[in-house]
Structure formats: structure tokens, C-alpha cells
């Protein structure tokens, strides 16, 4: 049992760390690849790109990431709090433990498609010399419609920040219950936002917060391990599990097993996976900052990182659902007993990793809003940034107090914005690049456009069905 003193210390630690963050500016060199002109041959383009890669990025340059470091950072970027909502996605279509099997298969399939499209974005950047998602669209499709990916990225970061607020509210509510404190979810969220998140989001430079985001992988790994311990030790097993007493909702199992994955409700899990695997707006950054960034090395980075993420997602989803079945909540840690000290450690790890990751995501949303409003850089004063910060935090916090089902936010966001950013827009950019090559495009590239089109149609179909099922 945690004491009241400990919770005060937790908040004080966060506030002190926020107030002592130094304003360090970190600049990273950008790629100088020259955009391809129309009707150049694939061979010439490849040679030109490789030469520039060799000239500019051929060694262990300053500001570049080694392959192992990039893998660590990409796994960290993919594996977030969204993984803890996936058991509810399984519960949307099944209630027998065997339903976890098709769920793991779906995770592997959707993770593979997500990884392919992540690779596709990097290759578009290689062909065009683009240095961001929106810039890749501008150089492949055109400037007039560049607002489309910009709007999608801004809305996606808003939803991500909303999900973070919801997870923090649930997590700290569980921590407070373990301490014997009677604090409502709304009080927890408002107090946390005003005393911790608001000061952090007011920071004008977040470079000193970056090391804290490393807690994310540790927190998720610890959480999955604790979930595994609780499943295999039978603490929540019916009918005599030692931690069943005091649960708001007991585990529940029925007869809808593996075959239930054929129902339309399975699209809810599929769309949740679109949000869970979302890291695609950072694909250009990972390509540009990779040391000796050949396409082969970049694809190795993508395949390995998404493979690790698939394993983590599969383990957490299977363990959470196998423990609680159809009772699996939108945030699976909410199912566990507040007095479970082992899961309590997981809650603390997840909470603090999210606290210091929150402003990193929030700034992306704030900058996106300023960009969409076409506020020039010279007018983005500290006062203007603070005003936008206050407005956005109020909107996000208010929405988080109303929305309590994280699985809905994850599935709806994945069905709409996730499908666009992962499956639809990358395929459009790639097809446009190949078209611009004209007769110089290789037969392999031309054939690949058909697969990219299939991926795009898959995104449209799953997004449409998933949106309907999420709303239902």
C-alpha cells in the first residue's frame, strides 16, 4: 500500500524536473538529396542518390543515428500506451481464449502492412529529396494539396495527446486507489493537467525531456512482464483467484472463439492497430538521420523495429485478453486490482513515461495548428505559443473527461486518420513518383504500384468499415 506522502513526492518530482529543464537547442543536418526530374531513368536516379549518400552521409557523421540506435528509437516510437487498449479490441469480437489466436495473426498482418508503408515513405524521400511527410507529398503529388497530409498529421497528434490524457487519468486513478485516496477520474485529470502537464507544455524547448521518453520502452516491457506473471500465477483466474476480490468487473469467458474473427467487429481491432502502429509521420526523419542511409539499411531498420513491435503487441494483447476475456477494458490496467502491487509498479512506470512524452507529442499538435492557421514564424511569439497551449490543453482535457473508452478513441482514430497516414497517402505518393519517372521507371517499380494500390484499397475498406463499427 502506498502512503499519501508518496503521491505528493511523485507530483513534486515531476514539477521539479519540469522547472529545471534546460533550454538546449539541438540541430540536426538535413538530407541534401536533389529532387528527381521527370523521365529520368531509375538507374540514373539510383546512382545519383547513392553518390550523394556516399558524399554526404558515408561515415559516422555528427547528428546521425547508428542502425542499433535508430532501431531502439523507432521501437520506442511505435510501442506506446495504445498497446494497452488492444485486448479490448479482441473482446469486441470474441469472448473465448482461442480468440487470441486470430488476434495475433491480425497483429502480424497489419504490422507487416504498416511496416511496408513506413518503408514506402522513406523510399519516396530517397527519390525526391523530401525531409518531412508533408514535403514528400509536395514533391511527389503537388503543393496545392499539401494541406491534406498536414491536416491529417495535426489531427492525429491531437488524438494521440487525447489518448495520453485518458491513459494518465486512468493510471493515476488506479495509483490513488491503491493509496486509499478517494479521488475521481475528472479531479485526477484536471489536477494532473494544471500542476504537471501545463508547465511542461509551456517549455519552449524540449530537448532536455528526451531522455525521459526512454522510460516508455522500460515501462511497457515491465507492464507486459507483470501481465505475464499475473496470468500464469492464476491471481485472476476464476473462480478462486487471490486477487479477484474487490474487482469492479470479474473476468468473463464464453464460446466465441477463433471463428468469431470473421465477424465485422474484428475491424475494430484492425483499426486500433492502425493507431497502435502509427509512427509514419516520422518516417522521413528516420530515413534522413540514419547513418549511411541506403535503402537496404533503412529497410533493415524498418523490418526489425516493426518485428519487435509485433512481438510486444502480440504478447500484451494475448495476455490481457486471456486474463479478463470479454471484460477487458479499453485500458487493460484498469481491470487489475488496485491493491495489486506488482501491477502498481507498472502503473507508475507507464504514468511517468507518458508524463515526459506528453509534451513531445503536444508540441507536434500545437505546431501543426499554427501551420494550418498560417501563423508566420515571426508572429509565433512566446505569448502566442502560450495562448495556443492553454486553448489546446483545455480542449484536450475537456474531451478526455467526457470520453472514457480508450478503445473507441484508438479504433476511430485508426479508422480515419490512421488509415489515411499509413495506407492511403503513402501509396498515392509512391505511385506519383513512379509516374513522374515516366518510361525510365523499372518494371519492378511499375509492378509494385499495383501492390501499393492494393494496400491503399485495403486502408480505404478497413477504414470505412472500422469507422462504422467504432461508432456502433
pLDDT per residue as tens digits for the range 387-410: 999 999 999 999 999 888 777 777
**To 5 degrees, how large is the angle CA 233–CA 237–CA 242?**
70
Q: What letter would DSSP give residue 411?
A: H
Q: What is the pLDDT of residue 206?
A: 64
Q: For residue 55, is pLDDT > 70?
A: no
Return the higher-pLDDT residue of 54 and 134: 134
pLDDT band at 378 (very low <50, low <70, confident <90, very high): confident
pLDDT band at 23 (very low <50, low <70, confident <90, very high): very low
Which residue ranges make up each domain of the chain?
A: 62-471
List the beta bridge partners of residue 65.
290
Q: For residue 314, is pLDDT > 80?
A: yes
pLDDT band at 212 (very low <50, low <70, confident <90, very high): low
pLDDT, the chain, mean: 81
Q: What is the pLDDT of residue 205?
A: 67
Q: What is the pLDDT of residue 273?
A: 87
Q: For residue 37, is pLDDT > 50?
A: no
Q: What is the pLDDT of residues 240-255, one digit of tens each?
A: 999 998 888 899 999 9
pLDDT band at 214 (very low <50, low <70, confident <90, very high): low
Sign of CA dihedral 280, 284, 286, 292: positive
Among candidate residues 162, 134, 115, the one with its CA nearest the CA of residue 274: 115
Among candidate residues 417, 406, 468, 162, the one with its CA nearest the CA of residue 275: 417
Lowest mean pLDDT among 63-72, 110-119, 280-289: 63-72
User: Is residue 368 classed as helix, strand or coil in its secondary structure?
Assistant: helix
Q: What is the pLDDT of residue 11?
A: 37
Q: What is the pLDDT of residue 211?
A: 65
Sign of CA dihedral 99, 102, 108, 112: negative
Q: What is the pLDDT of residues 82-114, one digit of tens each?
A: 788 899 999 999 999 999 999 999 999 999 999
Across 22-38, average pLDDT = 35
Q: What is the pLDDT of residue 80?
A: 75
Q: For residue 48, is pLDDT > 70?
A: no
Lowest mean pLDDT among 4-8, 138-142, 434-438: 4-8
Do 429 and 141 touch, CB atoms closer than 8 A? yes
**To 5 degrees, how large is the angle CA 99–CA 101–CA 104?**
115
pLDDT band at 131 (very low <50, low <70, confident <90, very high): confident
Query: Is this model's pTM higher than 0.75 or not?
Result: yes
CATH architecture for residues 62-471: Up-down Bundle (1.20)
φ/ψ (deg, to 5) at 325: 60, -135
CB atoms near residue 443 (< 10 Å): 8
Question: 38: cis peptide before it, omega within 30°?
Answer: no
Across 350-371, average pLDDT = 82
Do 137 and 292 touch, CB atoms closer than 8 A? no
Amino acid at each position: 500500500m502506498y502512503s499519501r506522502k508518496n503521491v505528493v513526492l511523485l507530483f513534486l518530482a515531476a514539477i521539479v524536473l519540469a522547472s529545471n529543464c534546460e533550454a538546449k537547442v539541438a540541430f540536426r543536418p538535413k538530407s541534401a538529396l536533389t529532387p528527381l526530374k521527370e523521365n529520368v531513368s531509375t538507374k540514373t536516379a539510383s546512382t545519383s542518390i547513392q553518390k550523394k549518400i556516399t558524399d554526404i552521409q558515408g561515415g559516422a557523421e555528427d547528428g546521425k543515428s547508428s542502425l542499433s540506435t535508430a532501431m531502439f528509437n523507432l521501437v520506442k516510437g511505435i510501442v506506446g500506451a495504445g498497446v494497452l487498449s488492444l485486448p479490448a479490441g479482441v473482446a469486441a469480437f470474441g469472448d473465448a481464449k482461442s480468440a487470441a489466436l486470430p488476434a495475433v495473426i491480425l497483429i502480424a498482418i497489419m504490422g507487416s502492412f504498416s511496416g511496408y508503408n513506413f518503408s514506402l515513405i522513406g523510399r519516396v524521400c530517397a527519390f525526391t529529396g523530401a525531409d518531412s511527410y508533408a514535403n514528400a507529398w509536395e514533391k511527389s503529388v503537388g503543393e496545392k494539396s499539401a494541406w491534406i497530409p498536414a491536416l491529417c498529421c495535426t489531427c492525429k497528434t491531437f488524438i494521440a495527446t487525447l489518448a495520453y490524457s485518458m491513459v494518465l487519468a486512468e493510471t493515476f486513478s488506479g495509483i490513488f486507489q491503491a493509496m486509499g485516496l478517494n479521488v475521481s477520474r475528472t479531479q485526477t485529470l484536471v489536477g494532473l493537467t494544471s500542476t504537471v502537464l501545463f508547465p511542461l507544455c509551456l517549455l519552449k524547448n524540449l530537448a532536455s525531456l528526451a531522455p525521459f521518453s526512454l522510460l516508455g520502452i522500460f515501462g511497457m516491457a515491465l507492464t507486459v512482464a507483470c501481465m505475464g506473471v499475473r496470468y500464469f500465477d492464476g491471481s485472476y483466474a476464476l473462480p478462486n483467484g487471490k486477487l479477484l476480490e474487490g474487482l469492479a468487473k470479474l473476468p468473463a469467458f464464453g464460446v466465441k472463439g477463433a471463428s468469431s474473427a470473421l465477424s465485422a467487429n474484428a475491424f475494430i481491432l484492425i483499426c486500433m492497430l492502425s493507431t497502435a502502429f502509427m509512427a509514419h509521420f516520422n518516417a522521413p526523419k528516420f530515413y534522413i538521420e540514419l547513418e549511411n542511409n541506403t535503402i537496404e539499411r533503412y529497410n533493415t531498420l524498418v523490418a526489425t523495429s516493426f518485428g519487435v513491435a509485433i512481438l510486444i503487441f502480440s504478447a500484451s494483447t494475448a495476455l490481457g485478453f486471456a486474463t479478463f476475456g470479454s471484460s477487458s477494458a479499453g485500458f487493460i490496467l484498469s481491470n487489475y486490482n488496485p491493491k495489486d502491487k506488482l501491477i502498481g509498479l507498472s502503473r507508475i512506470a507507464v504514468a511517468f513515461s507518458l508524463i515526459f512524452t506528453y509534451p513531445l507529442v503536444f508540441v507536434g499538435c500545437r505546431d501543426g495548428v499554427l501551420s494550418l492557421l498560417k501563423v508566420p514564424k515571426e508572429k509565433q511569439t512566446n505569448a502566442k505559443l502560450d495562448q495556443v497551449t492553454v486553448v489546446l490543453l483545455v480542449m484536450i482535457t475537456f474531451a478526455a473527461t467526457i470520453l472514457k473508452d480508450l478503445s473507441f478513441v484508438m479504433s476511430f482514430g485508426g479508422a480515419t486518420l490512421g488509415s489515411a497516414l499509413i495506407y492511403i497517402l503513402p501509396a498515392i505518393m509512391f505511385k506519383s513518383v513512379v509516374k513522374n519517372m515516366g518510361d525510365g521507371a523499372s518494371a519492378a517499380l511499375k509492378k509494385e504500384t499495383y501492390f501499393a494500390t492494393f494496400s491503399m484499397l485495403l486502408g480505404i475498406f478497413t477504414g470505412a468499415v472500422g469507422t462504422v463499427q467504432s461508432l456502433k
